[in-house]
Every structure is written in C-alpha cells, then in structure tokens.
Structure 1
C-alpha cells in the first residue's frame, strides 16, 4: 500500500491562495477516480477538485473556510502500489461551478461518481443517536421545514446520500409520532431556545466582502423613476402571440436590455468601469449587461455579452441560457464576469423601491421593481395603467446626479414609446 498526496492546484490567473469551501469526503471514506473530493473558492468561481485515483482517505489538509496556499497538501489517499508520497500529480479541476453562496458550514453532499439511485425514505427506528453538537446533512429548505415543524434534525434518520435528511424523512418522523409538537400549528406556538451558528465561508464570504467593499469605496446614490409600461407590455403580448411558438416567449428583460443599449448611446459615462486606485475611468463601447439571477443557491450575475449587437429574441435566448446555466451550476467564470453595467430585478417580489448596491468597478446598476396596475390621469381621464419603478444606483465619484436622472428618464421614454427602441 502507498499514499497518494493531492496538493492544492494552481487554478490560474496568478492566484496564490485558495479558500477551501467544502469537503465531500471524510477520513475513512473509500473514493473512486473522478469522484469530487472538495470544493475550493477563487475570487470568481467555485471549483470542484476530483480524485485521480481509487483509494481510502487517510488525512484531510484543512477545514472549510481555511485559506490554503497553492501547492499545500489538500488530501492524502491510501492506494494500491507505491503511491506518490514525494510528489503529487495534482488533478486539474474538472468543473467550474458558479460562485454559489453557501451560508451554512455544512451543505448538501454530492454523491460519488456513478452514484446509485436515491433510496426511498425509510425511517429505520424511532430516532438517530447523534451527539448534541453533531450537525446532520440537510438542505436549507429542509432545515427551515424542520424548524417550522418543531423537529430537531439530529433526531431524524436521513435516507439521502451520505445520510442526508430529506423532506420525506421529516414526514416519516412525524408519522411515527416522534415530534414534540403533534401538529405544525402547535409547533408554531411552542417555546424555542435553540441557537444556530453559521460559518461565513466560501461564496457567502466573498459576497460579504464585495458588498462591504462596494459600500465603503463607492459614493452610492440612488434615483427612482416611475414608468408607464402599459404600451411595452401590450407590444410584448402581441409579439408573443404572433411569434412565441416559433421564436420563443419574450419577458420584459430583453426590452430593458434593449432600452439600456439605446440610452447608453447618449450616456456613455454609465457604461464604464472606475479604477479608483489608478484614478482612471474606462468607458466601453461594448455593452456587457450583467443580469442578476436568483437561484436556489443564491444570487448570481451572468453576463449577456455584446448586448448592443443582439435582437430581442437573441437577448431573450441568451438571458434564458445563462440563467439556466447559473441555476444548474454550469456557468463558467467567463460567463459570470466582465459586465459593464448591471440589471437587477426581483420579479414579482420587486417591491416599490429598492437601493441596489453597485457591482464594482461598474458605476451604474439599474434596478427593476414589480409592475402594478394603478389608476392614473391621462389627458384628463382616470384610467388603469400598468406602472413600474426603476430604482437605480450610481457611483457619485463618476456620475453626476443630473446625468443619472436624465439617463433613467431616457430609458423611461424608450419604454413608454416602445417604437423608439427600434428607430435608428
């Protein structure tokens, strides 16, 4: 028997240190070639580290949240034969996943390569003997469900991969009458004294650092403008009815992207990056629109590149492709970086007003609030119109307040008179 040592790989881009975000194995586990061993975090993305060998894990080189130098020992695996104890043939990362926020120190484990089908949930006994401080594997949704039901997760037997607790396991536990609260209604009024500490590591740490850095370095100011989107919504409905089956359905987002592109022709200072260390503003001709996308693992911002050269349907298809890639963990670092201006929306949850935080080094971010029907006075008559606010933020070091207001009002004019979006 020998030992195969895997070292922290060189991810590239001149990175000297990488954060260990999550282990997918523990000491004593048997692993197979290409099985994901750990996730490591760079400034831009989460990277999976695979095993190049079959063997047994005998040592782990760090803890989640630890920043490790490139070339330091990541994991040791006992293998048949001599191994490579003197020098590791460090595997190249096989998959770049998007920078997924992981607010909890322990999250869903990934099954080994060629994993078996997930077993049906079976509660094999009244409770599981776990230590009081032992944290069972479960998704954030399952944890919230357990809290709502008044169930202590450490008492529930998990039927998922690596013993992960599933929603079905909670239901099986309740069916056996082991919950302290017989019904969800009773649980809602039960006294609680539990506490939970959540380690801020991985992408959640990166997000916290970036947001703090953005608010400390940039001179934020916000501007809110009300827009009548009745006409653009009528146009969208008409285009979907006529071309939706052959070209795909249009949401409001590609129209907003088009409005940005057209408005930026007169306000190029908004499509810029500011290097505050070098005191240099770089205005860009290319419009690379970052579109904030909510997923189960958190907020991601894939980038629609060269929006200035895309039609409505081309933009719609690219937005859909990128959103799907981000939500499924398939977006690359290049697809999640390089934006020149950002468009952010909470959709139906958009509220009335928001104050978006700039995505440095960009100098503008356009926030979309929800569409609501309201009575409005039009030509002396009270009529029902579809109204929407744009709540946008700017870097006052680069953008003057008057220019910001005129820029958003230009977008307003384009959306309220949608024909002007396509008049050259």
Structure 2
C-alpha cells in the first residue's frame, strides 16, 4: 500500500480544501483517472491517480483542509499483494495523517507483510526541502536499526538519515541528485519479519511512464496527440507546474508518453524550440530516454543551465534580504600585525604538539571577544520589529568558509570562555566539517558577530554584507609588508593588514564602530596585552 502525497499545486500554496472525491474507498482506479477536486486560494484543481490500482483509504474528508506534502489518500498499486489489514479504515485512521508533525523519523503506517514508507522528518528549523547527496543503501539491501541510509544536503548543512528499524529496503523514491520535501516519502522498506513480499516487484510510484519508441498505432493516434481515456491531457503535477511557470497551456505541448502523456522532456524541448514544435515531432524517432536523437548533446556556444539549490540558494535569498533591509555603512582601518606574526611563530610548535594548527584567526576572535566588553552593542541584535536591542551573553564568532556546497558561516561558541588553543582547535574542526559538507546545523546557528577572511584568497579590501540578524561583520584583507615610519621617523618594514567593517546603521554609528575597532586593533598590535584579561 502506498500513500499519495498532495503535490505542489501552485506557487506559495501550502494547503487546500477537498471539494469533491471522485472515488470511494475500495474503488479500482486507472492511471491518470481524476480522483479528487481541491480548492486552493487561487483555483479549483483536479488531482489524478499516479498509477492503476485500488483506493484503500481516504485520509481527508470532503470539506476538510489538506496540506501540501501530506498524505491525501492511500492506494494499492495494480499487482501489489493485498491483505486484510489494507482494508479501508474509517474515522481515527484519517486523523493520524491530517497533520504530519515534526516528530522524527516518521513512517507511514502499513499492513503486516507490506512495505512502509519512510517519511522525511523535520531536519532543521525552517527547512522544507533538501537534495539527495548519496544513498548508502540499494533496493533489496538489508538494513539495521539506526544504520545510515542516505545523506541529504539542506540549505544549511549535510544531514545523515538513519533507518528507524531493521528490515529490507524495498524502493528508493527519490534519485540521487534530486530534490525531496520534508514530510514526503523518501524510501520504502519491509520491516524485519515482513521480507517475504520483497520478491514481488512493486511499480515505482511517481515515476514517469516510459516513452514510446514505436510509431503509434492508428487507433492510438488521437490519444497520443493529447487526450487520455478520461478526455483530458495526462501530465504529472510537476509537469503542470513547469508549464505554469513558463505561461504555457498543456494543450500547446505535444506529449510523447503513453496515451499522449506530456513529459518534462516534452516541455523542455518545446521551450528550446521556441514553442514552434509541430505534431510531426511527436512521432519522430526517440532514444531510450525519450529524447530526439542528439537532444542533450553539447552544442558550440550553448548556455549551460544549473539550478540554484542548497546553500547557494539560501545565500542568494539571505544576501538580498540583508542588503535591502539593513542600512549598511563601512569603516576601514589598517592594523600592524608584525608583533602578532612573531608571537604566532613562537607558539606554533606548542600548538602542533597538541595537533592544532595555529593561524591568525584565533587571535582575531579572542581580541574581538575582549573588545566586545568595551562596546557590547557590537554583540547585540534587534528584535523582529526593531523596537528592542538584545545584548547577547556569549560571543559566538562566525567565520566565512568557502566550501564545496557554497559559502558557509559556522561559528565558535563562547569565544570569551575558551583558551586560545581551544579556539584554534574549534576553528580547525569547523573548517574541516564545512569543507567536507558535513557541518552540523547547530554549528551554523547562534552566531553573534562574523569575520570574513578574504585576505586568505588574496583580497585587500572588501565591503561585506552583514550576516543577519547580526549587526556587524569585518572583512580581513591580506597582510602586506609595507614601509612605515617608526617613532624616530626612520622607514621600517612592517606587516600591514587592512580591515573593513560593515555595521547596521540602525543601532551602530561611526563613533561606536571606531571605538570598537580601536580596542580590537590595540589587542592585535600588542598581543601580549590580551594576557591581562584572560581568566
């Protein structure tokens, strides 16, 4: 038995009202048969059957509200082994699925001897979707309780999903590299003791029908040109959404699938050809993947399109939000780090004995935590309606890391309480985790002030964007050996580092950030003075 999850039915739509069920529990259904009509805040939408089978349960009554990505109805696919436990149930069974909660890990109920769907649980505050990075198991493979099954990448971190109980993997619903949604089925498995039915193949739900490779028979000609057995054009919800995004009508795109089903490839091909695709293209020879010969092959001068996903997608949203809602102002300064470099060289061998790599970053962070004592508003934040300033009890310094997934900003918690060696060890751990894509979500939350070490890549100046809801960020430029005058007016060689601050001008003014920067600069130019304040 499989649960049909209410798909995305329009941009921004999260729920809808069930207007009319076209079927009842126990009814036999065919692929693309209309099953239910739902009303969103924009339109009446018809939901069709993903494949042939029999309705076993309706989870939402007529007139009730259904949630996107929540179970709408359950069905037994054609050819799937049935049992008495799959008989329609009433009342309380529906309520179990009306509101899928955030409890982890959730598994859709299933009868004894049949497979269960593992529902992707809430994996982080505000996260609604993730990308499948790597499946650790294959269909038919035996799994143990708490065994890692799949790695997924959210817009914040890489997360490992484990098995809720022992059994056998029956079906992987989402392919590697594809996007899945929270509260949607991730994979199906047979619990321990129910593996006997594993030999019975179950049609993979939500997979597009294989494209026809033979020329259509005469009696099928009309349906292949766009009309299925129910007088409508067959297409998956994702395809209909793609059409809406491009302002196309379903009837404009010739379908190459079974009974004229419009596939995603048909829509993309139609767009590539500027909408001038003719009916003759439908019956043109196709490859095993349903493409016309040569489709998808690189063309000279062709534009390569890559979807904006994961960390890069959330960075795009957050940077636009921060740049447009926070009044930024910049403040630049030069810092003489000659003495700091010498101190680090003396301490490096001791740190290496502890298997810790000592860079300048731990010194930057410790000096920042000390400077916050003098100007605590740099470690504060505004509440949502900008009516209160909240002074934070700990200095959690974030650091921008250029990872494979994109820009990540993990933070060292409680810098003011840690030793210099402790800060260095934590920086090393966070950097390694971020660059491998396995940084924990907790390491990305709770930052209070950030450092962007652009100088590590050769930059001298930058105007960083504040990492909201923080109120300040500093960009550190590369260190250069430059001529400077000493106290006796002699030209000497000094290590000069440029820094550029961005502050939230709603609560930080030029004088405040200048005083803070001067205090920070004082500790870095005379690093031994930090010893006076270390507990």
Is residue 255 of structure 1 aligned with residue 369 of structure 2?
A: no
Q: Is the 8 A contact 2:338 2:495 kept in 1?
A: yes
The 1:299/1:37 distance shift into structure 2, 3 A limit, reads same
Give the superposition deviation at 1:54. 2.4
1:186-205 correspondence to structure 2 within 5 Å: 192-205=300-313
Matched residue, 1:86: none
Flag the structure with larger Rg. Answer: 2
1:5-404 correspondence to structure 2 within 5 Å: 5-11=117-123, 13=125, 18-22=128-132, 24=134, 30-33=140-143, 34=147, 36-37=149-150, 39=152, 41=154, 44-50=156-162, 53-57=167-171, 59-60=173-174, 64-65=178-179, 68=181, 70=183, 72-76=184-188, 80-81=195-196, 132=294, 192-241=300-349, 243-247=350-354, 248-277=356-385, 279-379=387-487, 380-404=489-513
How far 1:56 moved relative to its partner? 4.2
Structure 2 counterpart of 1:102: none
- C-alpha distance in structure 1 between counterparts of 2:406 and 2:337, whole Å: 29
The equivalent residue for 2:234 is none
Range with greater deviation from structure 2 (324-333 or 340-349): 324-333
Distance in 2 separating the partners of 1:318 and 1:60: 35
Gaps of 5+ in 2: 1-80, 82-113, 199-287
Q: Relative to 1, partners in 2 of residues 1:262 and 1:203: Cα closer, same or farther, differing over 3 Å?
A: same
Q: Are the structure 2 counterparts of residues 411 and 350 from structure 1 closer, same or farther at C-alpha, using a change threshold of 3 Å? A: farther
TM-fit CA distance, 1:245: 4.6
Question: Quick check: 275-284 or 338-347, which moved more?
Answer: 275-284
Cα offset, 1:329, TM superposition: 3.6
1:143 paired residue number: none
- Determine which of 522, 526, 534 is the counterpart of 1:417: 526
- 1:114 counterpart residue number: none
SS of 2:491's equivalent in the other structure is strand
- RMSD over equivalenced CA pairs, Å: 3.2
CA distance in structure 2 between the partners assigned to 1:350 and 1:393 by the alignment = 20
- Judged with a 3 Å threshold, the aligned counterparts in structure 2 of structure 1 residues 267 and 235 are, in CA distance, closer, same or farther, namely same
User: Does the 8 Å contact 1:225/1:409 carry over to 2?
Assistant: no
Shift of 1:385: 0.9
Question: Following the alignment from structure 1 to structure 2, what is the Cα–Cα distance between the partners of residues 297 and 246?
Answer: 32
Deviations 1:73-124 (A, max 9, x none): 34446883468xxxxxxxxxxxxxxxxxxxxxxxxxxxxxxxxxxxxxxxxx
Question: Residue 30 of structure 1 contacts residue 55 of structure 1 at CA under 8 Å; is this kept in 2?
Answer: yes
TM-score, structure 2 length as denominator? Answer: 0.53
In structure 1, the partner of 2:18 is none
- Cα distance between partner residues in 2 of 1:251 and 1:61: 41
Deviation at 1:386, TM superposition (A): 0.7
Structure 1 residue ranges without an equivalent (≥5): 84-128, 136-151, 153-190
Return the alpha-carbon distance in structure 1 between the equivalents of residues 456 and 393 of structure 2.
Answer: 32
CA contact (8 A) 1:40 1:49 kept: no
Structure 1 residues 245 and 23: alpha-carbon distance in aligned structure 2, compared to 1, 3 A threshold: closer
Contact preservation (8 Å) 1:60, 1:76 = no
Contact 1:342 1:365 in 2 (8 A): yes
- Cα deviation for residue 274 of structure 1 reads 1.7
User: How big is the shift at 1:59?
Assistant: 4.5
State the distance in 2 between where 1:63 and 1:244 align. 41
Q: Which has the higher contact order (CA 8 A, sep 6+)?
A: 1
Assess, with a 3 A threshold, how the Cα gap between structure 1 residues 291 and 195 changes in structure 2: closer, same or farther.
same
Secondary structure in structure 1 of the residue aligned to 2:532: coil
Q: SS state of the match for residue 258, structure 1? A: helix
SS of structure 1 residue aligned to 2:128: strand
Question: Deviation of residue 288 (structure 1)?
Answer: 1.0
Aligned to 1:423, the other structure's residue is in SS state: helix
Contact 1:376 1:385 in 2 (8 A): yes
